[in-house]
Amino acid sequence: MTTDPIAADLAALFPAREAIPAEHRPQAAAYERLYLLDGRVRAWEGPLAEVPAAFSVREGDALVRPVVGRVPAMDEAAVLAALESCRRAWDEGRGDWPTRSVAERIAAVEKFTARMREAREEVVRLLMWEIGKTLEDSRKEFDRTVEYIGRTVEALKAMDRDYSRFAVDGGVVAQVRRAPLGVVLSMGPFNYPLNETYTTLLPALIMGNVVLVKPPRLGSLIHQPLLQAFAESFPPGVVNFIYGSGPEITPPLMQSGAVDVLAFIGSSKAATTLKKQHPRPHRLRGVLGLDAKNPALVMADADLDVAVRECVSGALSYNGQRCTALKILFVHESVAGPFLEKFSAAVAALPLGMPWEPGARITPLPGHGKAEAMAAYVRDAVERGARVVNPGGGQAAASLFRPAVLYPVAPGMKVYDVEQFGPVVPVCPYKDEEEFLAYVTASSSGQQVSLFGRDAEKIAGLIDLLANQVCRINLNAQCQRGPDTLPFAGRKDSAEGTLSISAALRSFSIRSLVAGKDDPEGRGLLQQIVAGRLSRYLRADYLG
């Protein structure tokens, strides 16, 4: 272990293996070989990949990273077999699932959700171990996801009621409904591996698509306790789960041309690579959540207590590892002193600890080399004239990194432009709001901003300009995705498509309408089909 007394202090926060409470230990060994193919949970006979814990344990004088479990390290042949299974289930749109009635699909999703609830505690344990999310936030992620699925069902019923009507115009009588798109490749991120996978996976399924899920390496075990629920709720091939190294197994999937929708949350660089591999890019729909560098503007008249509270939570919830995190703060030079004083004190008060420890707010960073990457951002900024303003900021031991508040940050420093995705908070003094507008305009991201101030006229002027730069302007509040009824979108390199409970249903479907002549014969034919309940698609009944 380290001889540096400060780092030793941090290192002491890691527990001895036997000190981890039994109720917070996952049973990962029970399902480490499992994958889902063709309606059956199977044991993979090939090589396995280890999933390291986000934290270390103390063994004598050493800090050792435990292995949470293992997942299949699949090869090209295995993932192509899974794709083939999806294609069979889709069957050019003639499969059992894509032609089922909406009511039948809803019943399957509800069956899955009931089974999913039973796995709550194990999924929560895995979230803590794999990605280091606190117990409270892991539970929130699980519950929010279950609630999202329930509200998706309600939104689909409402949509179904709207689509039961017939439109009459220009001599045409038509019913407009939404039909599925085909095979979806779903790739969620490590930071919300459950929520950001299932909030596209379940809407895609309920609309009649078939889905091939490739979880992120960190955040893959959390799906394992749910595989049996998928197997029992959906017909064979409608959902398959594959695991392996993205750069190895995704090119053959995309190059096959059989993926109709790419649902991907990650970097814009990776999304570009994936899209370029598709032989017919115009046939590929993207539902993408990508880079973001959301800035906050703290104006001279801002309520500093509100700004500090929101910026601390906005920049450092889940250690700053949220796409919506505030990743740079612009503070008017006249209030920079008092702001930094309050902000540093609030950051210093955030307790560091293991994810299951009550009150822990800053937890170990998942993956290897993340704390080192954060330290490199701090070094770069300090070499270029910034200083760490909070006591102990930037100290690290293994994967635990004490948040660093950097000031004054300026162009030329990496943290000015790069999305740090971690507990480093760059603070930039400014004189004129034009500097902030210029930053937002030049940025390659366009997700959200936060404005802190009280001058309605000034804020109104900023809103009018920022509305054409980003997709959400938060007033005296941090950036965030929720509530899930609101559209979540981004411009530039930040996103493609819009997500919300109802927008996701539209993102994974296409309008397909039935139109006849508005004359006695045309109406008669439509009436015959509807009254005789001859079609599952063209119908006038609706779901209550």
Q: Which of 324, 363, 390, 500 binds ligand G3H (CB under 6 A)?
A: 324
With respect to ligand G3H, which residue has the nearer C-beta, 224 or 480?
480
For the CB of residue 150, give the shortest distance to ligand G3H in the complex, in Å: 18
Nearest to 409 by CA among 429, 438, 435, 380: 429
With respect to ligand G3H, which residue has the nearer C-beta, 273 or 313?
313
With respect to ligand G3H, which residue has the nearer C-beta, 192 or 401?
192
Q: According to the 3-state scheme, what is the secondary structure of 77-104?
A: HHHHHHHHHHHHHHHHHCCCCCCCCHHH
With respect to ligand G3H, which residue has the nearer C-beta, 99 or 313?
313
Kindly write out the interface string for residues 175-194 of this chain, putting x where it contacts ligand G3H by CB under 6 A and - elsewhere: ----------------xx--
The Cα–Cα gap between 295 and 446 comes to: 10
Residue 90: C-alpha distances to residues 87, 125, 131, 209, 235 (Å): 5, 35, 34, 7, 11
Q: Which of 323, 378, 398, 406 binds ligand G3H (CB under 6 A)?
A: 323
Question: Does position 474 bind ligand G3H by CB under 6 A?
Answer: no
Q: What is the secondary structure of 224-286 as a DSSP string?
A: GGGHHHHHHHS-TTSEEE--S-HHHHHHHHHHTT---EEEEES-HHHHHHHHHT-S-GGG-EE
Question: Does position 322 bind ligand G3H by CB under 6 A?
Answer: yes
With respect to ligand G3H, which residue has the nearer C-beta, 197 or 324?
324
For the CB of residue 141, give the shortest distance to ligand G3H in the complex, in Å: 9
For the CB of residue 479, give the shortest distance to ligand G3H in the complex, in Å: 7
| Phi, then psi, of 213 in degrees rounded to 5 | -105, 125
For the CB of residue 505, give the shortest distance to ligand G3H in the complex, in Å: 18
For the CB of residue 481, give the shortest distance to ligand G3H in the complex, in Å: 3
For the CB of residue 340, give the shortest distance to ligand G3H in the complex, in Å: 25
The Cα–Cα gap between 258 and 182 comes to: 9
| Span of 255-263, 321-329, 351-359, 425-433 interacting with ligand G3H by CB under 6 A | 321-329
| Span of 134-142, 234-242, 318-326, 333-341 interacting with ligand G3H by CB under 6 A | 318-326
| Span of 232-240, 435-443, 480-488, 530-538 interacting with ligand G3H by CB under 6 A | 480-488
CB 292, CB 420: distance < 8 Å: no
Instruction: Return the residue matching tokens 């998928």.
Output: 230
The percent helix, strand, coil of the chain (3-state, each to 5) is 40, 20, 35
* Interactions with ligand G3H, residue window 215-274 (CB under 6 A): none
Instruction: Return the residue matching tokens 């079609």.
Output: 535
| Span of 80-88, 171-179, 206-214, 477-485 interacting with ligand G3H by CB under 6 A | 477-485
Q: Go through the chain and tell me how many residues it has.
A: 544
Cis peptide before 483 (omega within 30 of 0): yes
Cis peptide before 216 (omega within 30 of 0): no
The Cα–Cα gap between 230 and 232 comes to: 5
With respect to ligand G3H, which residue has the nearer C-beta, 481 or 506?
481
Q: State how beta strands 294-298 and 326-332 pair.
A: parallel
With respect to ligand G3H, which residue has the nearer C-beta, 175 or 450?
450
With respect to ligand G3H, which residue has the nearer C-beta, 38 or 196?
196
For the CB of residue 480, give the shortest distance to ligand G3H in the complex, in Å: 4
The Cα–Cα gap between 485 and 52 comes to: 35
Two tokens at 428? 């930039």
Question: Does position 482 bind ligand G3H by CB under 6 A?
Answer: yes
For the CB of residue 226, give the shortest distance to ligand G3H in the complex, in Å: 20
The Cα–Cα gap between 223 and 193 comes to: 9
The Cα–Cα gap between 316 and 311 comes to: 8
| Span of 273-281, 330-338, 479-487, 503-511 interacting with ligand G3H by CB under 6 A | 479-487
With respect to ligand G3H, which residue has the nearer C-beta, 285 or 322?
322
* Interactions with ligand G3H, residue window 414-473 (CB under 6 A): none
The Cα–Cα gap between 254 and 79 comes to: 11
Two tokens at 497? 């498509």
Question: Does position 197 bind ligand G3H by CB under 6 A?
Answer: no
* Interactions with ligand G3H, residue window 66-85 (CB under 6 A): none
For the CB of residue 5, give the shortest distance to ligand G3H in the complex, in Å: 35
For the CB of residue 224, give the shortest distance to ligand G3H in the complex, in Å: 22
Instruction: With CB under 6 A as the rule, give the number of residues binding ligand G3H.
Output: 9
For the CB of residue 308, give the shortest distance to ligand G3H in the complex, in Å: 19
Does residue 179 come out as left (phi exceeding 0), alpha (psi in the -120 to 50 range) or beta?
beta
Q: Which residues bind ligand G3H (CB under 6 A)?
A: 191-192, 196, 322-324, 480-482
